[in-house]
Amino acid sequence: MVGICPLRNPIREYAWGSRNAIAELLGQPIPAPRPQAEIWMGDHPSDPSRARCRGDWILLPDLLRESPAEILGESAAARFDGELPFLFKVLAAARPLSIQAHPNREQAREGFERENAAGIALAARERNYPDPHPKSELICALSPFSALCGFRPIAEIARVFRELQVEAFETEVDALERDADAAALGRFFSAVWNARGDRLTRAIDQAVKRAERRSDDPAARWMTALAALYPGDAGVLAPLFLNLVALAPGEGMYLGAGQLHSYLEGVGIEIMGNSDNVLRGGLTTKHVDVPELCQVLRFEPGEPEVLLPREASPGERVFKTPSDEFELAVLQVRAGTPWQSARSRGVEILLSVAGDVTVADRTAGESFKLEHGASVLIPDSVDRYELAGEGVVYRAGMPKR
């Protein structure tokens, strides 16, 4: 039988990562030798975790192949083909991530099969769909967290282009004001993002020069910062299109498929569908595919909702989202009052971010100390577990519908 399994998780090093945040969480020397961007907790084939089981460290995909129903539960094992339905992360951004969006289920499957048929290697730079899964996601801030997310109202987009006198796209702004619907927004976005050469350079120069005079406008400040990091990149104009969102620690934001976004800076807990499908549109040295990005985008203006977790039981608060693949909860463990899990929960991963907590399977008579930054896999077959001590634990699991 598979019991509670401590995890060893890969750290992803990207240029936008922090040299302090993840190292501090894991109790490693600061600063880290290179930028550390993400900790991945899960079985994604690109970089899976290892689980301590039967005295050995086993790759999580291998463990799941051996005991899918025991770990996931019979229903989830059948529904998700013996794989974890979610990918759990710590994200630490010291500088902006790419402008990007993720596909829905049908788009992911079709794109994956299309690129396979074209003979594009899974690890190829130009690969857009390394797996056939959708990727909605939830970010929960551990530190003050800034992001660009979702299109601003159409009238507002046209207004800021007028105010900054971006003459290079005057004809397109006229058309956007005239039609002012989702199709017009899609045409306008495509025209700006597909612009090249002198036209794009002039537009960015015009917008940034005037944005520099608006130091009281956070979106204008971010535009000048992006211009310094990625000169000549269409993504510099993203703050004119997208809502600027500021999350306080403990607040969250859900991003559905097709929602254009960029995380700008901050540290957060992220949970998503078990996928690494990313369509990028700029602010990156990685592969950019604007036509494919436009195929998955939803050109629906609207300000994203800032989420707070709801109390589910004493010490347990849960973020409610539309996702069928994942659910994120915050567990506040208090001294002298152990927290007990429910039965029939499905597979879970726990991550300790503060304090001194012990996780115990009382039926099996085993327990593990969850040190700062430590994580464990809780299989569905574990009847019930208990958290004791004092601290904060984030729990990734599946929603109960």
Catalytic residues: 280
Q: Of 336, 335, 331, which is closest to residue 385 (Cα–Cα)?
A: 331
**Could you tell me the maximum CA-CA distance found in the chain, to the nearest angstrom?**
71
Is residue 256 within 8 Å of residue 102, measured between CB atoms? no
Sign of CA dihedral 173, 211, 290, 261: negative
Q: Of 192, 239, 189, 202, which is closest to residue 217 (Cα–Cα)?
A: 239
Helices then strands, counting H and E runs in the chain, come out as: 12, 22
E strands of 274-313, at which residues? 279-282, 306-307, 310-313
Cis before 309? omega within 30: no
Q: How far apart are CA 102 and CA 228, in angstroms?
A: 27
Instruction: List, in order, residues 6 or more apart from 290 with CB less than 8 Å away.
Output: 190, 193, 194, 281
DSSP letters for 161-179: HHHTT-GGGHHHHHHHHHH
Q: How far apart are CA 88 and CA 93, in angstroms?
A: 16
